[in-house]
């Protein structure tokens, strides 16, 4: 047998030296981290988490609003070098999945953490039965939602920690989690509060935070001035947003990163935190701006710090999961393009629409009123050109089929005919008519405002107008109409308005599900989507948006270790993600060890290898 050459022996020796150096460095690093975080834990008064002898933990880092496409672009452009290195070395796999409709954080997080996001129709909506206006950035509203979605099955953070999330996922420890603001927190005790001030007043950390804050604020000012000099309509920042961005990206980012590091040392079984800086910056600046790239670069640095401690294995083995709840699609505000907000446009339509004769006695339509309305609809149908006339004809047919209102429904309060509520969530809007506490059918809306649905559907900034008639979901657009039952097309006229999407069948199912939520609007609107430029018309003042359908907003990402063997290609809604977490990490509680988990989803089975 030939003896190894001198070059081969030298190469082996160098490799051995490198391995020894790495082992020594890892040991020293582990010793340093162990002593550092042991001291910090004692100061905080936090106990070491209870260990399960066979379970792996997970650290889930959610990047709010970062799509699969935008992540790939950031990696290719070199803005996230650490994640790029992990992918290149095969330590993480990148998967695309579908978040479903609405593409918003509350719907996505409820689905991931609890496997249930039923009746979360947007980021903002109105509940006619209780006159409750829901805005998901308010703690009381988020707590109400968690009470609705939780309890059917355990949250994936049971026994773990939740930081800067909307929902707590049944976590034992929560910090800045909207649904759990009155529960135990990281700095809840007097010792913990004292350490909070030590954290803030640490000279080196304070200087670092101040420098980063000044840099962020100065870059905001430069961006605003340069935009004005170039004559751009899109100003990067408005109002107090620069200060909010500094607080979000710098101060809160440091606090939540520190909290995650502490829990990795403690051995918490499940850790989930959300970084919101990219989402907020993209809304105001757009996806291709310098501040959004800077936000991703800072996130990459924090991920590196977290992963370095995770790999030290001080307490238990952890899997690192990096994911988004939804993406964002480049957008132009409806108000900028058309000179008025969606609510102002609808108010103009309502004010100029047909006012029905006020009936005597009960509020049901008489045969005469129904006949009068149908004749008006025939006149409207003759005034519009194809294919808009298709929508007008279909509405007239619905009214003809339903000339009277059922005795079982509450009467219409015609005194509130002009009481219309508009709730916008990006390129998604819910419209509510307060003439009734019940949800109005298409025929009832048309009885009140004969030309409203057709006018909305024919507006160039509106893609879809969606409403219910009995068990059917009706989609109206400028190009054609669809009638759905159980997520399937039962009739169609004109072109299919969803054919511009890469997965129209999936979009149909999501639209049908969302339209059936009890607190969805009497009408649901989606802003115009342009597949060629991959942009949407947004009903808020945002230059990148989410909430509706079309473009990258539909497709978030997940980075996960290869050994998990997760296949996310069949995930069609955020609630399908629950099964992957629950079956891989969620240990049965002692009193429910014999109970099987029943994930709520759309048929995604056996995610474990």
Q: Is the peptide bond before 387 cis (omega within 30 degrees of 0)?
A: yes
Residues 305 and 431 in one domain: no
Tokens for 564, please give them. Answer: 């998990």
Rounded Cα gap, residues 118 and 476, in angstroms: 24
Residues 432-445 have pLDDT tens digits of 998 899 999 999 99
Q: Are residues 322 and 375 located together in one domain of the fold?
A: no
What is the per-residue pLDDT across 47-88, written as a single tens digit (0 to 9) for each? 555 655 457 899 999 999 999 999 999 999 999 999 999 999
Residues 320 and 350 both lie in one domain: no
Q: How far apart are CA 518 and CA 509, in angstroms?
A: 17
Do 311 and 345 share a domain, yes or no?
Answer: no
Residue from 64, 608, 37, 534 nearest 305 by CA: 37
Q: Are residues 180 and 208 in the same domain?
A: yes
Residue 606 has pLDDT above 50, yes or no: no
Buried b (16+ CB within 10 A) or exposed e, 420-451: bbbbbbbbbbbbbbbbbeebbbbbbbbbbbbb
The SS3 of residue 260 is helix
The C-alpha atoms of residue 25 and residue 38 are separated, in whole angstroms, by 19
Range of the domain at 301: 45-327+555-586
In this predicted structure, what is the pLDDT of residue 183? 55
CA distance 529 to 464: 10
Same structural domain, 367 and 456: yes
* 465 vs 592: which has the higher pLDDT: 465
Domain finish residue from 534, 552, 570:
552
Q: What total of structural domains would you count in the chain?
A: 2
Q: Are residues 146 and 293 in the same domain?
A: yes
In the chain, what percentage of residues exceed pLDDT 70? 69
Same domain for 275 and 216 = yes
pLDDT at 353: 41
C-beta separation of 325 from 62 below 8 A: yes
Render pLDDT for 498-546 as a digit per residue (tens, 0 to 9).
Answer: 999 999 999 999 999 999 999 999 999 999 999 999 999 999 999 999 9
Residue 178, pLDDT score: 85
What percent of the chain has pLDDT above 90?
49
The verdict on 342 and 310 lying in the same domain is: no
Sheet order of strands, 329-333 included: 529-530, 535-538, 329-333, 544-545
Do 185 and 266 share a domain, yes or no?
Answer: yes
* CATH code: domain of residue 284: 3.40.720.10
- What does the block give as tokens for 407? 């005795």
Confidence of residue 385 (pLDDT cuts 50, 70, 90): confident
pLDDT of residue 234: 57
Partners of 492 in beta bridges: 482
Helix (H, G, I), strand (E, B) or coil at 562: helix
**DSSP state letters, 184-209:** --TT-SHHHHHHHHHHHH-HHHHHHH
Q: How many helices (H) and strands (E) does the chain have?
A: 19, 20
Q: Lowest mean pLDDT: which of 307-321, 322-336, 378-392, 472-486?
A: 378-392
Coil vs helix vs strand at 488: strand
- The residue whose two tokens read 């809304």 is 283
Q: 399 and 281 in one domain?
A: no
How many other C-beta atoms can be found within 10 angstroms of the C-beta atom of residue 260?
Answer: 25
- Is 80 exceeded by the pLDDT of residue 174? yes
Torsion of CA 244, 250, 252, 258, to 10 degrees: 180
Beta-ladder partners of 428: 425, 526
Note whether residue 514 is domain-resident. Answer: yes
pLDDT in tens, 567-579: 999 999 999 999 9
Query: What gap in Å lies between CA 61 and CA 438, rounded to an integer?
Result: 40
Structural domain includes residue 222? yes
pLDDT of residue 202: 58
Residue 597 lies in a domain: no
Banded model confidence at residue 27, pLDDT cuts 50, 70, 90? very low
Average pLDDT over residues 162-173: 92
Run of H or E including 480: strand 480-485
Whether the CB-CB separation of 283 and 18 falls below 8 Å is answered with: no
The tens digit of pLDDT for each residue in 454-494 reads 999 999 999 999 999 999 999 999 999 999 998 899 999 99
Q: What is the pLDDT of residue 533?
A: 95
| 22 domain residue, yes or no | no
| pLDDT of the residue at 386 | 75
| Domain identity same for 277 and 425 | no
Give Cα 175 distance to the centre of its chain. Answer: 20
Would residue 19 count as lying in a domain? no
Residue 260 has pLDDT above 50, yes or no: yes
Element (DSSP H or E) covering residue 330: strand 329-333
Query: What's the rounded Cα separation, in Å, for the pair 289 and 239?
Result: 19
Strands in 381-427 per DSSP E: 420-425
pLDDT mean over 16-27 = 53
User: Which residues, in sequence order, are CB contacts of 277 under 8 Å at separation 6+?
Assistant: 245, 248, 249, 253, 295, 298, 299
Q: Is the dihedral of CA 406, 407, 408, 412 positive or negative?
A: positive
Reported confidence tier of residue 228, pLDDT bands at 50, 70, 90? low
Whether residue 348 is predicted with pLDDT greater than 90 in this model: the reply is no
Give the range among 215-224, 242-251, 514-523 with minimum mean pLDDT: 242-251
Residue 17 lies in a domain: no
How does residue 14 score in pLDDT terms, banded at 50, 70 and 90?
A: low
In-domain check, residue 236? yes
Q: Regarding predicted confidence, which is higher, 359 or 485?
A: 485
Predicted pLDDT at 36: 52
């Amino acid at each position: 047998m030939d003896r190894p050459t001198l070059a081969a022996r030298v190469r082996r020796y160098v490799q051995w030296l490198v391995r020894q150096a790495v082992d020594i460095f890892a040991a020293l690093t582990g010793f340093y981290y162990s002593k550092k975080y042991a001291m910090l834990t004692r100061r905080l008064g936090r106990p070491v988490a209870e260990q399960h002898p066979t379970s792996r933990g997970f650290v889930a880092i959610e990047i709010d609003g970062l799509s699969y496409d935008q992540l790939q672009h950031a990696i290719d452009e070199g803005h996230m070098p650490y994640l790029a290195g992990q992918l290149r070395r095969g330590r993480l796999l990148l998967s695309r999945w579908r978040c479903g409709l609405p593409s918003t954080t509350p719907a996505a997080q409820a689905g991931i953490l609890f496997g249930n996001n039923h009746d979360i129709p947007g980021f903002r909506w109105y509940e006619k039965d209780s006159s409750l206006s829901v805005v998901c950035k308010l703690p009381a509203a988020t707590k109400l939602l968690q009470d609705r979605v939780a309890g059917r099955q355990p949250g994936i953070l049971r026994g773990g920690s939740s930081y800067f999330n909307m929902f707590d996922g049944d976590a034992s420890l929560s910090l800045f989690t909207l649904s759990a603001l009155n529960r135990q927190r990281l700095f809840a005790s007097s010792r913990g509060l004292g350490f909070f001030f030590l954290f803030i007043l640490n000279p080196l950390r304070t200087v670092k935070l101040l420098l980063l804050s000044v840099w962020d604020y100065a870059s905001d000012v430069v961006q605003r001035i340069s935009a004005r000099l170039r004559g751009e309509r899109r100003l990067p920042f408005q109002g107090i947003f620069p200060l909010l961005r500094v607080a979000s990206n710098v101060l809160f980012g440091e606090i939540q990163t520190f909290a995650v590091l502490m829990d990795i040392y403690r051995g918490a079984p499940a850790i989930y935190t959300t970084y919101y800086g990219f989402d907020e910056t993209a809304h105001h600046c757009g996806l291709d701006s310098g501040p959004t790239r800077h936000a991703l670069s800072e996130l990459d640095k924090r991920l590196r710090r977290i992963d370095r401690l995770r790999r030290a294995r001080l307490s238990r083995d952890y899997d690192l999961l990096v994911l988004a709840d939804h993406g964002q699609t480049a957008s132009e505000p409806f108000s900028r393009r058309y000179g008025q907000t969606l609510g102002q446009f609808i108010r103009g339509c309502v004010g100029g629409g047909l006012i029905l004769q006020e009936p005597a006695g009960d509020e049901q339509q008489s045969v005469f009123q129904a006949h009068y309305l149908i004749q008006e609809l025939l006149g409207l149908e003759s005034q519009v050109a194809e294919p808009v006339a298709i929508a007008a004809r279909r509405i007239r047919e619905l009214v003809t089929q339903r000339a009277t209102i059922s005795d079982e429904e509450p009467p219409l309060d015609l005194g509130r005919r002009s009481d219309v509520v508009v709730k916008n969530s990006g390129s998604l809007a819910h419209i509510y008519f307060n003439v009734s506490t019940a949800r109005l059918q298409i025929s009832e809306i048309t009885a009140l405002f004969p030309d409203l649905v057709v006018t909305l559907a024919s507006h160039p900034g509106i893609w879809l107008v969606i409403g219910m008639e009995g068990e059917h979901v009706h989609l109206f657009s400028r190009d054609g109409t669809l009638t759905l039952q159980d997520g399937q097309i039962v009739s169609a006229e004109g072109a299919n308005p969803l054919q511009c999407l890469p997965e129209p069948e999936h979009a149909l199912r999501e639209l049908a599900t969302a339209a059936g939520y009890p607190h969805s609007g009497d009408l649901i609107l989606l802003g115009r989507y342009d597949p060629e430029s991959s942009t949407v018309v947004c009903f808020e003042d945002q230059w990148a948006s989410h909430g509706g359908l079309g473009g990258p907003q539909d497709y978030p990402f997940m980075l996960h270790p290869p050994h998990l063997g997760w296949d996310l290609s069949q995930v069609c809604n955020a609630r399908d993600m629950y099964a992957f977490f629950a079956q891989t990490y969620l240990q049965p509680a002692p009193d429910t060890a014999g109970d099987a988990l029943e994930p709520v989803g759309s048929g995604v089975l056996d995610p474990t290898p």
